[in-house]
A and B are shown apart, each in its own frame.
Chain A
Amino acid sequence: MSDHHAHDAHDFQHHVRRYLFVFWALIVGTIITVGAWYVKLDSMALTVAIALLIASVKAFLVAGYFMHLISEKKMIYGILAATAFFFAGMMYLIVWGRDQVPQGTIHLGSRDTFQTPGSPSKAAH
């Protein structure tokens, strides 16, 4: 890299054009996101999906091109892959964990033995 300053200049013009392209793509992405929200789709799921999909594409563009992840070294990929795995595990398992929590009141009444004295079904005997 030491003597790059001079002869890289030309190469970099090419990069710069790509950066500008990514920039416009990000702007368009933002506009589409807001547009999709503005028309108020009926389905909440679809709205969420569209918004997150576009956000992911934008994130990919920023990470891939502005942060040069597209052409990064293996070591960095390794670190980020581990991070992505733990991130996903954390989010998924935490949400799943909540999903399993019994909601509302639990009635043990379906089995007679768990009935407390004086509860309606016992009285019916």
Chain B
Amino acid sequence: MQPTTTHSHTHGAHEAHHEPGFWQKYVFSTDHKVIGIQYGVTALFFLLFGFLLMAMMRWQITYPQKPIPVVGSLLNAVLGDVAAGGIMSPDLYNAFGAMHGTIMVFLAIVPLAFAAFGNFVVPLQIGAVDMAFPRINMVSYQAYAIGGVIMLVSFFIPGGAAQAGWTSYSPLASWIPGHGQTFWIIGMVFLITSSLLGAVNFIATIIQLRAPGMTWMRMPFFVWAQFVTAFLLLLAFPPLEAAAIMQLMDKVAHTSFFLPTGLAVSGGELANISGGGSPLLWQHLFWFLGHPEVYVLILPAMGIVCEIIANNTRKPIWGYKSLVYSVLAIGFLSFIVWAHHMYLTGMGTKISTFFQTTTMIISIPSVIILSCLLISLWGGSIRFNTPMLFALAFLPMFGIGGLTGLPLGLNYSDIHLHDTYYVIAHFHYVVAPGTIFALLAGIYFWYPKATGRFMSEFWGKVHFWLSLIFMNAVFQPMFAQGMQGMLRRMSDGAANYSLAKVGTDAIGGLTDAIMKSNITISHAAWALGLAQIPFIINFFWSLRHGKKVTSDNPWEATTLDWQTPTPPPHGNFVAQPQVHRGPYEYSVPGQPKDFTPQNT
């Protein structure tokens, strides 16, 4: 680390004189890399937690009303009657389901994809010393942590956690007994604040702190993806914040923002409220965030995959400009497609047509991005290391997720598919084998930069192949279940529904094969969980025992994040980098090596 000679305004004057202590270095750090790692570790914890909730739910789906093995009695002990006898009650199922969605989206994937990777990598890739506002960066992480704690605590309050789904549709969410929903709202306000602060910081950093010569069109695609993602968070989250405030008012001040006149509650009584509100309003405001949010989940993943593919094919990305324009187009259009989640609300045909049209249009840039990445493979001398395997698997997985989304975007077919397991399969293909694979690829890829050691290749590959197989075994059958009409959010895995045969063909119920696939899915899901054990061990074991990197640029990459000491010190670069070329100059004829870093 270069000793700081002058007193710095932004960092406080201490560090020039002595090494920061443990708390300052790891807990109250303002260094973007430390904050990135804090985000990463916390988000991985929540990813595991969200998965474990689902692992328990899958038991209830598969073997309804049977005590959950191993953890059932534990659940009973900590949560009380909702898990009486170790059996997951429908209420608990609802709570776990709602929290699985909330935790996965807002506490696991977004923080990992956007905040963790963004924090660690973006300043390095643009050649900056740090983020533009380091202290705000720290506060952003703290707000996230507090939001997470509030969500966790809500499991243990009387009545348990929120039960109205991650979408928290009112009136249900406003009327459901207990305080879980209130905790959810307050937790969300913290998470939203965290994201907003993060978004401001990222955009300002990318606009202001690019190294000399780092023009817009020389930025790595990952930075572009993060830039657009930050805008989505910045402008789409506030309406949800507004909606959350109104829902909070409905809950604690007994207003009727989302409660219509004549609302009948349990027992058919009229609710004692003023009425006059609009349930549709909640859905609009929720999905105004909700749709851009799915791009928040996927764009950083695309960015990571792009970096890894360029690096491991040893050739320039095909169609860098198309990638950039596509990601901008996606960002722009993602604000005007939201009501494709609402075709069944009866909002009318004209507006459905409008949203169906914009939805079809937005699929074009997504396809362009996928195509560019795919074409980039052509003719490359591909290195099949673990990061690359995950990145390669991302392409077809995201492809499946994306393509199966089209029937959901079309009004007509969505009427059949809405709220079935088909939807679950569709978006999980995007976020689980899609985004999660990209994130894992990113972890294997940047681990050597962060720690100075590689993760084990062998166990990485074991992790990859097992994950690939089980991910597909989990989600593929759900398409079939959904197309037969199996609804989501049913705590008995549709057992009751399968019996509901009306007439000969009117409602066909569910076939035995479809019902039995619940068993396959659940076992695959548990196996998927076990398949993460090699990863977890690899992750911690390699910190101490992994193979040491022999150079600062072990993957022989071109971007600036690899032109720093390993691990990068506070302040990142030895000297101010000067950028002379585009991000992916691999195998340029006439150059001494098959990669030409941006700063040479």
Contact B346 A101 (CB under 8 A): yes
For chain A, the bracket of interface size reads 10 to 19
A43 to B119, CA, bound (A): 55
For the complex, would chain A's binding face be called helix, strand, loop or mixed by DSSP majority? helix
Q: Does B141 contact A (CB under 8 A)?
A: no
Contact B280 A97 (CB under 8 A): yes
Enumerate chain A residues within 8 angstroms of B530, measured Cβ to Cβ.
Answer: none
Q: Does B288 contact A (CB under 8 A)?
A: yes
Q: Does B475 contact A (CB under 8 A)?
A: no
For B339, give the chain A residue with the smallest CB separation: A97
Q: Does A121 contact B (CB under 8 A)?
A: no
Contact B339 A101 (CB under 8 A): no
A89 to B585, CA, bound (A): 40
Return the CB mask of A86-101 against B: 1 if under 8 Å, else 0: 1001100110111111
Q: Does A102 contact B (CB under 8 A)?
A: yes
Cross-interface CB contact of B348 among A85, A86, A89, A100, cutoff 8 Å = A100
Contact A75 B207 (CB under 8 A): yes
Q: Does B255 contact A (CB under 8 A)?
A: no
Return the CB mask of A48-86 against B: 1 if under 8 Å, else 0: 000000000000000000000000000100000011011
Enumerate chain A residues within 8 angstroms of B284, measured Cβ to Cβ.
Answer: 93-94, 97
Chain A nearest CB: distance from B210 CB in Å?
13
Enumerate chain B residues within 8 angstroms of A102, measured Cβ to Cβ.
Answer: 346, 348
Q: Does B231 contact A (CB under 8 A)?
A: yes
Contact A98 B231 (CB under 8 A): no
Chain B nearest CB: distance from A99 CB in Å?
8
Contact A97 B235 (CB under 8 A): no
Return the CB mask of B212-252 against A: 1 if under 8 Å, else 0: 00000000000000000001000110010000000000000
A72 to B281, CA, bound (A): 36
Cross-interface CB contact of B288 among A85, A90, A99, cutoff 8 Å = A90
18 A-B residue contacts at CB 8 Å?
Answer: A82-B235, A85-B335, A86-B235, A86-B236, A86-B335, A89-B335, A90-B288, A90-B335, A93-B284, A93-B336, A93-B354, A94-B285, A97-B342, A97-B347, A98-B278, A100-B351, A101-B347, A102-B348
Residues of A participating in the B interface, judged by any CB pair closer than 8 Å: 75, 82-83, 85-86, 89-90, 93-94, 96-102
In the complex, the 5 A-B pairs of residues with the closest C-beta atoms, listed nearest first:
A100-B348, A94-B284, A97-B347, A86-B335, A100-B351
